Amino acid sequence: MSEQPVLSIKNLKTYFYLEERVVKAVDGVSLEVYKGRITAIVGGSGSGKSVMSLSVLDLVDKPGRIIDGEIWLNGVNLRDLREKQLLKIRGKEISMIFQESTSSMNPVLKVKSHLFEVIRTRNRAIGSKEALSLFRDVLDRVGLRNTDQILESYPFQLSGGMCQRVMVAMGLLAQSKVLIADEPTSSLDLTTQAAILEELIRLKTAGMAIVLITHDLGVVAQMADDVYVLKDGKIVDSGTVYDVFESPQHEYTKSLLASIF
Ligand SMILES: Nc1ncnc2c1ncn2[C@@H]1O[C@H](COP(=O)(O)OP(=O)(O)OP(=O)(O)O)[C@@H](O)[C@H]1O
């Protein structure tokens, strides 16, 4: 690929220092993410997918710690930045749809306040009326009805699936250069899943670089351009979706594929 990657991770290591042992959740991961492409990170439960994406945004909590590696975003190594500089990048340059949507929303803020926070990183001068109309549109696109009522709700008043859709709406609204979507459609019904995947394709077509974290190889086959297979914190296979599905190199990838075909 001739173009430079938007996001490039080099030899990332994130370990959890527990009393009795060290968990090497991410153990030397390198990968590249390109504009206008969907890069899927696939792997079983506990393979390190979520910790890897949290590491990119420097959101790993103790006893976890990034111990090595580089995270280059548009030519800047995020690991060299201070928290204040990182805050500016989160949301504007790179945004994330979290797997635990209910707990990653602020319980004392209404949905509309969450959305205002996102839109203001993009456009500080936007008026309330224009913003609210954008919010209704984006909530509608992720399959939520009664949008006015949802905007006035607190996260605890919504179901898990509704919170997940609000998180996806926040991701769509951010219009960042890179969107990391951690299992964005788990626990949603098939129709909503399809609507959200369609939105991700639209964002990719508009030039966004999308990192799609999933254990669903069906979704990978349908959506991804590039694939990385993660096992025990290490990349065991990578390539275009065609390469990985047609000629998997690692036994683990072969067994994952065998389980769906
Ligand atoms: N706070 C923590 N303390 C200790 N170990 C942790 C912590 N968070 C994650 N881990 C460990 O890090 C490893 C990777 O976890 P991670 O959540 O990234 O997996 P995952 O691939 O996202 O799994 P899933 O698909 O189930 O979400 C696992 O062994 C997990 O037990």
- 108 by Cβ neighbours in 10 Å (0-12 / 13-18 / 19+) ranks as exposed
pLDDT in tens, 22-67: 999 999 999 999 999 999 999 988 999 999 999 999 989 999 999 9
Q: Domain ranges in the chain?
A: 98-175
Distance 222 CA to ligand 1 centre (A): 26
| Residue 261 confidence (pLDDT) | 61
Give residue 227's pLDDT: 97
Q: Is the pLDDT score of 231 beyond 80?
A: yes
137 Cα: distance to centroid of ligand 1 (angstroms): 35
Residues 6+ apart with CB under 8 A from 10: 30, 69, 70, 71, 72
Q: Does residue 103 register a pLDDT over 80?
A: no
Amino acid at 199: E
**Confidence band, pLDDT 50/70/90 cuts, at residue 178:** very high
The per-residue pLDDT of the chain, averaged, comes to 90
Nearest CA to 130 out of 138, 150, 55 is that of 138
Atom nearest to 61 CA in ligand 1: 1
Q: Tell me the CA distances in angstroms from 113 to 141, 151, 228, one per residue in order.
A: 19, 8, 35
Measure the CA–CA gap between 58 and 50, rounded to whole angstroms.
12
Burial of 251 (0-12, 13-18, 19+ CB in 10 A): exposed
pLDDT tier at 220 (50, 70, 90 boundaries)?
very high
pTM above 0.95, yes or no: no
Quote the pLDDT of residue 77: 95
Q: Distance, CA 252 to ligand 1 centroid (Å)?
A: 19
Q: Residue 2's pLDDT is what?
A: 53
Distance (angstroms) between ligand 1 centre and the Cα of 53 equals 11
Confidence of residue 176 (pLDDT cuts 50, 70, 90): confident
Extended beta strands in the chain, E state: 7-17, 22-33, 38-42, 64-73, 76-77, 94-97, 178-182, 209-214, 226-231, 234-240
Ligand 1 atom nearest the C-alpha of 230 is 21
Site residues for ligand 1, CB cut-off 6 Å: 16, 18, 23, 25, 43, 45-51, 63-64, 215
Determine the residue of 12, 14, 15, 50 to mutate for testing ligand 1's pocket, defined as the one with the most ligand atoms within 8 A of the Cβ atom: 50
Average pLDDT of the residues in 119-140? 89
Q: Buried (b) or exposed (e) across 71-88, using 16+ Cβ within 10 A?
A: bbbeeeebbebeeeebee
Cα–Cα distance for residue pair 155/34, rounded to 1 Å: 33
- Give the model's pLDDT for residue 167: 87
Most confident segment among 96-100, 154-158, 163-167: 154-158
Ligand 1 centroid distance, CA of 47 (Å): 7
Residue 18 CA, closest ligand 1 atom number: 4
Q: If you compute the radius of gyration of the chain from its CA atoms, what whole number of angstroms results?
A: 18
Distance of alpha carbon 92 from alpha carbon 98, whole angstroms: 16
The pLDDT tens digits for 56-96 are: 999 899 999 999 999 999 889 999 999 888 888 887 889 88
CA dist., res. 210 & res. 168, Å (int): 13
Question: Any idea which residue has 């220092």 for tokens?
Answer: 17
CA atoms within 13 A on the CB side of 79: 19
Confidence of residue 240 (pLDDT cuts 50, 70, 90): very high
**8 in Cβ contact with 33 (< 8 Å):** yes
d(CA 67, CA 15): 7
Mutation to probe ligand 1, out of 17, 42, 47 (largest number of atoms < 8 A from CB): 47
pLDDT at 186 over 90: no
- Between the CA of 16 and the centroid of ligand 1 the distance, in Å, is 9
